Homo-oligomer: A and B are copies of this chain.
Amino acid sequence: MNDPAGRSGTVGIRNVRLPDGRAVDVSVGDGVFRRFEPASRNNGDASSLDGAGRLMLPGLVEAHTHLDKTLWGLPWRPNSAGPRLIDYIENERRVRREIAVPVGTRAAGLLEQMISLGSVYVRSHVDVDPEIGLTSVEALLDLRETVRGRCHLDLVAFPQFGMLTNPGTAELVEESLRLGVDTMGGIDPAGIDRDANRHLEFVFGAAVRHGRRIDIHLHDGGDLGVWQIGMIADLTEAHGLTGRVMISHAYCLGTLEPGRLDPLARRLADLGISILTSAPAEGHIPPAATLMAAGVNLCCGSDGVRDSWSPFGTGDMLERAMLLAYRFDWGKDAQLQAALDAASVSGARAIGIENFGLEPGAPADFVLIEAETVGDAIMRRPLDRLVFHRGRRAAGAN
């Protein structure tokens, strides 16, 4: 079978089915979808790729992971953390010191797994703190270059152990942006960093100084979390960062009654603030359907995959879409499509990829999979996938 990958000019993929059921031939030029036409039922241009009736899904988007923390590919390590958050934090530091395999090797192994399963855009947080300095940042910046052309890797400078409370971290975070890290991170401005105002002012200030997007981990629950979402919205508006901010986890949104949720959801939608969930089954999580209905850009990610925090995860964004649907008992086709959107187009929008999807003019990012419908793909999740990034083959063989 020919591969449109290595070619310039316009190439084609014939005989694929779209999520709406249409059988089409697709032409791609310069990494962008050109035309979707009814399948011609002949063999077409011999240089085109035969989709063999496979389902074409938009490229999958891993909108939140921690490649630097993963133990993927290493011998199984029982989770040895004590019960409290502080125990998990101390355990992570202990594990990090004990592991001999370099961060770049571990991260590359997991990223290859993700690409092979269809994720061609991956946002990964990367720890920055005085103990490890910029070691992980440098390894991940190298990896970003290594996979360029097969996967768009968006890196977030992440102060896991606090920014202001961990002296030297803020300077290192800003230095990582100078080195080329894509996105400015933050974490529990109140609960972990103990000074929500100063933390957020630094996060937004650094983002503005370096022209970066923002992605803030917010585990703080209930009213404490909601209060900080309001501050993030205020700062987004004040700094003119509409469409450039994401709040990850935001468990507190799952605790609000409609009278408080609805106006907040409208404000998030107006400011283009994306909400990220890994769809955990225990505890409160953002009410996905309500947020989506209000126009909020809700996307999902694996969070950590097999690391010192949790042994869960495979890096498969179709599995994550299943877990999102499972979490809310979404069984209708429109709901399953929404789950796929959260694992693809919404994630792309969150990290700044506009005009994403199976449309003329969009980047030619797609997955060919032997499944009948979107629901079938999410439920069965066949592992044999042909993965394309901007018109070039990123993974999979025929």
A interface list, Cβ under 8 A from B: 75-76, 78-79, 280-282, 306, 309-314, 322-323, 325-329, 331-333, 336, 372-373, 375-376, 379-380, 383
Contacts and interface: CB of A to CB of B under 8 A. Distances in A.
Given A280-B329, A383-B383, A373 B312 contact: no
A180 to B, nearest CB: 33
Contacts of A373: 76
Contact of A281 (B311, B327, B331, B336): B327
Contact of A282 (B322, B329, B376): B329
A313 B379 contact: yes
The 7 closest A-B CB pairs, nearest first, are A281-B281, A78-B333, A76-B373, A282-B329, A281-B327, A76-B372, A79-B331
B75 A372 contact: yes
A332 B312 CA distance: 11
The quantity of this chain's copies bound in the complex is 2
A332 B78 contact: yes
Contacts of A281: 281, 323, 326-329
A375 B331 contact: no
A333 B79 contact: yes
12 contacts: A76-B373, A280-B326, A281-B281, A281-B326, A281-B329, A310-B331, A311-B331, A311-B375, A311-B379, A312-B325, A312-B331, A323-B326
A312 B329 CA distance: 9
Contacts of A79: 331-333
A251 B372 CA distance: 34
Nearest to A336: B311
Contacts of A328: 281-282
A373 B76 CA distance: 7
Nearest to A371: B76
Nearest to A280: B329
A43 B203 CA distance: 62
B314 A326 contact: no
Which of A373, A379, A380 has the most chain B CB atoms closer than 10 A to its own CB? A379
A327 B383 CA distance: 24
Nearest to A328: B282
A323 B326 CA distance: 9
A283 to B, nearest CB: 8
A76 B332 contact: no
A163 B317 CA distance: 43
A370 to B, nearest CB: 13
A380 B76 contact: no
